Structure 1
């Protein structure tokens, strides 16, 4: 009889300890706080000693996005990319290069090998 009372008490404790608001792992309906995306950002880095010069800006309002970015290439040219995304049209970009590519001379003057007598 004591075993039945202990088992019943344990069952009551388990039922009372069960959380009433268990977490939901599915995706719920859209709430007003999660409407269409809208943002605007930009950044830039210009560090002449290291040779880093690049930046990016983008703005989005719902399904329409527009932006641009630039980077100083190792050959000395500046690459600029301007892009748009309008709904399902995909990524449409225009790429422009500014300046002339510069290649440093890699030819070293001839130095004869040491001669040992």
Structure 2
């Protein structure tokens, strides 16, 4: 009897720990923001969009060396997170 209860608890914990939930569906969304503060020198922004399956976005920041770093990315549950980093401007 104890063995059956132990097996039942193990099976229940595996089912509850599973990341798949048929009642939860990803919802499409989009957002963006930007900050440009001449007093502190902060200049950065981000935008992202999702159709519920694939997330695509970009973010950028002004670096202390005078360049701007931009990251374009895409993520989904099959390919994972993929990013492309680029720099513009002159290094001081």
Question: Could you tell me which residue of structure 2 aligns to residue 108 of structure 1?
Answer: none
TM-score (norm 2): 0.71
More strand by share: 2
Question: Could you tell me which residue of structure 2 aligns to residue 72 of structure 1?
Answer: 62
Question: Could you tell me which residue of structure 2 aligns to residue 62 of structure 1?
Answer: 52
Aligned residues: 73
Unpaired runs of 5+ residues, structure 1, are: 1-25, 103-117
1:38 to 28, 31, 44: 28
Structure 1 ranges of 4+ moved more than 4 A:
none
Shift of 1:86: 3.1
1:63-92 Cα distance to aligned partner (Å, 9 max, x none): 201000000001110001111113320111
Unpaired runs of 5+ residues, structure 2, are: 1-15
Query: Greater relative contact order: 1 or 2 (C-alpha under 8 angstroms, separation 6 or more)?
Result: 2
Shift of 1:37: 2.1
Alpha-carbon distance in structure 2 between the residues aligned to 1:63 and 1:29: 14
